[in-house]
Amino acid sequence: MTTVAEIVANDLCVGCGLCEAVSEGRARMVMTPDGSLRPTPVDAFSAPEEAKIIASCPGVVAEARSAPHLPLDPVWGHHGTMRYAWAANPSVRFEAATAGVLTTLGQYLLHSQMAAFVFHTGADPAQPMRSRWVISETPEEVQANTGSRYGPTAPLAGIELALERNEPFAVIAKPCDLGALHRLSSLDPRIDRLVVARLAMVCGGQSRLSKSRLLLEELGVDESEVSMFRYRGHGNPGPTRVETSGGEVFEIGYLQMWEDEGTWDVETRCKICPDALGEASDVAVADVWPGGAPTGEDEGFSGIIVRSDYGESLVERAHRDGCLVLGETISPRDFDDMQPHQVRKKVALAARYEGLADAGVHPITTRGLRVAELGDRLTPGEYTTQRNGAAARIKRARA
Ligand SMILES: Cc1cc2nc3c(=O)[nH]c(=O)nc-3n(C[C@H](O)[C@H](O)[C@H](O)COP(=O)(O)OP(=O)(O)OC[C@H]3O[C@@H](n4cnc5c(N)ncnc54)[C@H](O)[C@@H]3O)c2cc1C
Ligand code: SF4
Ligand code: SF4
């Protein structure tokens, strides 16, 4: 793919926001009627800007950054320590999406003065159902932006402003955001100089805003009345909670919120995501429910996957200084059981990429993500089903 217009037309944009940063705001991330953030207008770029975007865009390319000297698992990639972990601070553990590991590591980097700020994502105070990038300079601010934002976010829209501060900082983001950052680092040396830690959540997909709108519709609430929208947290997983300016409070259980996959409306890029396990991070953090779904509430347990020597030393130090609690080790096959949807997607990718090509769309170029090797695990029948399904999906998305 050679233009942003083409990426958007093929629905391979995931709305990471890089287009806004690279164009210095000439292309803004605008919500489409379907509830996706897309660069607008799509032709606002100079030729060098567009070349930079094409070299880094998650809709075009994905590349692992993990250290090749670490043990390699075909599904989970290069990894160091894999263990249960949770925040030592009970309020962080309770408020966070799962167990507060990402929040804790961000806070630790500030406390220990390894980072001047954390660049991440939080609720938009003006429209609390929506999300925006955020810079947190204190541990309290990091905690105020704890939790998962399941709707559209465009974290990289703010990356230029973060880099311009010329101070060391940590990034907490989705795997595709960190993948774009990694690709961009070969063109922008400030990234490797200033980004001291890259922390990812393992990610099953980003829903369009339609998912959140549907919930409001069911509750009979207009978005203009929403004063707080929390997708999960305050427990693990904790309920989805909506508060209104009129004082109403609604809570929906996690399983009820996500029981009907037909309503998830995740981005097309997510269905062909080759890097959802955070292979461009220093540490990736995952849910650890056996079988892949919660059976009730618990105190909060995460699984960490260390991806680099730096990630290893960060986890070790945060543990030694009493901020992070480490539990038993987890094997890659344990992770398979806890993330069966990730394994299914990973082995289906080669077939889905052929389906894209069948539909005339250039599939994502992957480096170091073992797509072809894992594709061999499908039977011929499964391969054909995945291939045809992907071709049909992309044709529908383009229409
Ligand atoms: C869209 C999405 C899909 C997910 N799918 C899976 C999955 O399939 N399997 C799984 O194991 N886990 C998944 N998670 C991750 C899970 O919900 C937890 O976030 C993760 O386990 C880390 O928990 P934690 O308590 O350490 O995070 P916390 O301490 O709560 O920290 C979360 C951090 O992530 C940042 N953040 C939140 N939402 C976003 C976003 N949309 N984009 C960028 N940054 C964000 C916040 O700013 C915060 O710093 C998903 C998360 C998201 C946002
Ligand atoms: S760089 Fe990001 S915002 Fe731009 S087209 Fe690609 S995914 Fe979309
Ligand atoms: S599934 Fe992949 S593309 Fe979709 S939001 Fe998650 S990391 Fe990004």
- Per-residue exposure over 29-43, b if at least 16 CB sit within 10 Å of its own CB, e if not: bebeeebbbbbbebe
Cβ–ligand 3 distance for 267 under 6 Å, the answer yes
Dist CA 61 CA 186 (whole Å)? 13
pLDDT (average), residues 165-171: 98
Dist CA 177 CA 284 (whole Å)? 13
Report which ligand 2 atom has the smallest distance to the Cα of 180. Answer: 1
**Is 298 part of any domain?**
yes
The torsion angles phi and psi of 240, rounded to 5 degrees, stand at -80, 130
Q: How confident is the model at residue 42 (pLDDT cuts 50, 70, 90)?
A: very high
By percentage, how much of the chain surpasses pLDDT 70? 100
Q: Residue 39 has what pLDDT? A: 98
Is there a contact between 66 and 79 (Cβ–Cβ < 8 Å)? yes
**Is 35 part of any domain?**
no
**Is 78 part of any domain?**
yes
**Is 51 part of any domain?**
no
Work out how many domains the chain is built from and give that number: 1
Per-residue pLDDT tens over the stretch 225-240: 999 999 999 999 999 9
Q: Provide CB contacts within 8 A for 162, sequence distance 6+.
A: 117, 119, 135, 169
For residue 49, the CA-to-ligand 2 centroid distance in Å is 12
Minimum CA distance residue for ligand 2 atom 6: 57
Average pLDDT, the chain: 97
From 106-115, 163-172, 252-261, 343-352, the region with the lowest mean pLDDT: 252-261
**Is 135 part of any domain?**
yes
Q: Residue 371 has what pLDDT? A: 98
Per-residue pLDDT tens over the stretch 15-38: 999 999 999 999 999 999 999 999
Comparing 398 with 322, the larger pLDDT belongs to 322
Q: At what angle do helices 47-56 and 175-185 cross, to 10 degrees?
A: 130
Report which ligand 2 atom has the smallest distance to the Cα of 53. Answer: 1
Per-residue pLDDT tens over the stretch 251-298: 999 999 999 998 999 999 999 999 999 999 999 999 999 999 999 999
Minimum CA distance residue for ligand 2 atom 7: 13
Report which ligand 2 atom has the smallest distance to the Cα of 56. Answer: 1
User: What are the angstrom distances between the C-alpha of 214 and each of 149, 167, 222?
Assistant: 16, 41, 11
Per-residue pLDDT tens over the stretch 318-355: 999 999 999 999 999 999 999 999 999 999 999 999 99
Cβ–ligand 3 distance for 270 under 6 Å, the answer yes
pLDDT (average), residues 157-170: 98
**Is 9 part of any domain?**
no
Q: Residue 399 has what pLDDT? A: 77
**Is 181 part of any domain?**
yes
- Of 142, 252, 188, nearest to 22 by C-alpha is 188
Q: Residue 66 has what pLDDT? A: 77
Q: Which domain holds residue 147?
A: 62-399
Report which ligand 2 atom has the smallest distance to the Cα of 269. Answer: 7
**Is 43 part of any domain?**
no
Is there a contact between 155 and 120 (Cβ–Cβ < 8 Å)? yes
Question: What's the token pair of residue 190?
Answer: 């400030």
pLDDT (average), residues 174-191: 98
For residue 271, the CA-to-ligand 3 centroid distance in Å is 8
Residue in the block written with tokens 């990973």? 346
Is there a contact between 101 and 346 (Cβ–Cβ < 8 Å)? no
Question: Does the CA dihedral 200-202-207-209 come out positive or negative?
Answer: negative
Minimum CA distance residue for ligand 2 atom 2: 16
